[in-house]
Amino acid sequence: MKLYDWLRNSLSNTKRGGRGAHMTWARTSVGHTISRTGVFLKRQIWLWPILAVLLLSVIGLYVRHSIESTIRAGLRSQLETIVELESSMLDSWSRVQSSNAQSLANSLDIRQSVYPLLEAISGGTESPQEEAKKVLHAKLEKSLGPALTAHRYSGYLVADKSKRIVASNRVELIGQQGIPEYDSFLTRALEGASFVSQPYASIVAMKDESGRARTGIPSMAVVAPIRDDSFQVVGVLALRIDPTEEFTRIMQLGRFGDSGETYAVDRTGQLASESRFDEGLALLGLILDEDTAQSILNLRIADPGGDMMRGHRPGQHRRELPLTLAATEVIAGRSGVNVDGYRDYRGVQVVGAWKWLEGNDVGVITEVDYAEAFRPLTILRRVYWGLFALLAASAAAIFVFTILLARSRREAQRAVIEAQQVGQYKLEQKLGSGGMGVVYKAHHAMLRRPTAVKMLDVDKVTPSALERFEREVQITSQLNNPSTVAIYDYGRTPEGVFYYAMEYLDGIDLQSLVERYGPQPVPRVIHILQQVCGSLYEAHSLGLVHRDIKPANIMLNRRGGQPDVVKVLDFGLVKALDEQKQAGLTQHASLTGTPLYMSPEAIQLPNSVDARSDLYAVGAVGYFLLTGVPVFEADNVVDLCQKHVATPPSPLSERTRTPVPSALEAALLACLEKSRAKRPQTARDLAMLISRCTEAGQWSLEDADAWWGKHERQRSSLLGGDSRNDRLSTHTTSHRQDVTIDHPK
């Protein structure tokens, strides 16, 4: 894509009033701010704490991620281990209990005591007389007695195939049939299985921990089928187990830390073991606030929707709330683990693992509070944010210190300027300002010689600006041609004010000359252009390209008693063709110069400019001097650049009423060729072409003296002052109308 196409798409049209010769895109607020900010940031020491903060952020995020991943992996393994261990212990205990019950149910003494009771009912005969039943019950209890005592069974019952209870240590149960609490485990036992039932609430009055008799006491039963001689199931033996003893102790082994617990849940979602938070659950209103109240069989494992420990209260009845994630999964028969966090039955964020035990018809869930599980990460996060805040505060403090230091330095530099003393030079008055600096008229304290002192703007003292400033001085000081401004001195004050001193020029630049006095006569234009060519030829011979030839950078002066002495100014954009180290001072692939006088190659391939690019600008300057208008005019930079690249210039004769010699017109149009190969190849070649014009040499000293005398007198009479003090123009070596645009990559 060509540069002007890119410019058309990326730049908004910039319309300016007045004549086209004043058009400039340079120093727009956005571009100026961006470049100033970029250079400013390169120097500031407060960048390092900011970089440290950013680096710490990256490292902290990485460390946190790594530690969190490690904690999650370890926590997952721990939860899975606990739930597997608890399940194995519960399964082992259940097998032992089932084996004990099966041995008793099939022992000879038990069968001899039970068969008569079962046969009497199954045969349809009348029940034995009370005395006979007492004998049978006594014999059965005698047979079961040692086992009940040894295994701490708190009761028993015997049921026939119709689930009718034919014998029990609780007389009120004998003869009852179809009891819902017993139905599930009796059915399963009649199918031939020996197992430990899930906890259930007792239907007979039993003493609780306070010694008060009541129903609903949590109970479990180890159940085994009773078989006849042909190994057919004829009844069921069920032995009562107190779940608050071994079963609860097994679940309590899964408690770890301050909040870790392992509990059982039945198929309905009820808590089937004791919670370690019973006291807190009473305060939350989840169980009765009584001394004997227990969470086992009295708490539904539901998700309240928020942390009740922090004051949340659900807006629904607990029976209407959904089960917790763990309860939902385990009741569905799925084993799993979650370390991302979910709410438990208190609404507290927890992590957990779960497993369903088909043999016991319960699910085992292990959980621990999320805050406790990730406490190391929380501590790390606090330390990290503490360091982050410390570094941020340091960056802010250094930033403030830098601003204050820069402000005091600028104030000191301004004080130097206000004191009208820079090094050995006494400042007299400000002459003008340009792209990088300000120019003052001054005189040397010892020599008393009038001097122009150029200083860097105190707001622009950056490494790149200083380097460019020094480069301008060094390059210009290498040039000795009388038409090149002379450099006297260079230095820096203790306050950091950078300056250089050059010859003081009391004249007028060509831009102002044409604006004030109109197009210039042909002989005078030839006289001016020949001197410009002389200055450029020396620079080109040293491998230097000016890159910013334009009317504002060429001054016409009285020097050494001679009128119309030309001085070429502002070599600040000069390109050193033979020094690669200079390449970085002008941005890579950037457009540098003034659009009105820029060659096509400077627009399309800025890094390829050479001496012939300056000659294009010389031709444009000559065109402007003769016609009073630039070669091309446009409403915006994009269109202007496009014209330089693709549009042939109009002949001078079409744009001026004054006849222009054909030889001079041909020489200037040759300079404005799009192809460098068709232009004059050196500044000396151009000077020779111009010298062949008939009018060459016709601008005499008398003509020049007459012009200067006339206009100085006019200037003096208009201003009422001395003509030397009220100059025709000010000395500004950097009054630049330039544009710097990065090329698309």
Catalytic residues: 548
The residues near 45 (Cβ < 8 Å, ≥ 6 apart) are 398, 402
Q: 3-state class of 162 per DSSP?
A: coil
Nearest to 727 by CA among 560, 512, 553, 423: 512
The residues near 577 (Cβ < 8 Å, ≥ 6 apart) are 543, 544, 545, 610
Note whether 296 and 282 are within 8 A (CB): no
DSSP 681-697: SSHHHHHHHHHTSTTTT
Beta pairing class for 487-492 and 450-456: unpaired
Look at the alpha carbons of 506, 510, 516, 519 in this order and tell me if their dihedral is positive or negative: positive
The residues near 534 (Cβ < 8 Å, ≥ 6 apart) are 481, 482, 483, 683, 687
DSSP 617-675: HHHHHHHHHHHSS-S---SSHHHHHHHHHHPPPPPGGGT-SS---HHHHHHHHHHT-SS
Q: CA 452 to CA 447: how far, in whole Å? A: 14
**Sequence-distant contacts of 464-470: CB under 8 A, at least 24 apart:** 464/39, 464/42, 464/585, 465/39, 465/436, 466/498, 467/585, 468/436, 468/572, 468/585, 469/436, 469/437, 469/498, 469/500, 469/572
Q: 3-state class of 402 per DSSP?
A: helix
Tokens found for residue 201: 């609430």
Q: CA 13 to CA 640: how far, in whole Å? A: 11
Instruction: Work out the widest C-alpha separation in the chain, in whole angstroms.
Output: 163
Nearest to 638 by CA among 16, 18, 25, 178: 25
* Segments of 295-348 assigned E as strands: 336-343
Tokens found for residue 477: 């000081």
Look at the alpha carbons of 524, 529, 534, 535 in this order and tell me if their dihedral is positive or negative: positive
Q: 3-state class of 486 per DSSP?
A: coil
- CB 629: neighbour CB atoms within 10 A? 17
Q: CA 432 to CA 457: how far, in whole Å? A: 12
Q: CA 351 to CA 373: how far, in whole Å? A: 8
Nearest to 243 by CA among 296, 171, 301, 313: 296
Cα dihedral 365, 368, 370, 373, rounded to 10, equals: -130
Note whether 117 and 136 are within 8 A (CB): yes
- The DSSP letter of residue 489 is E
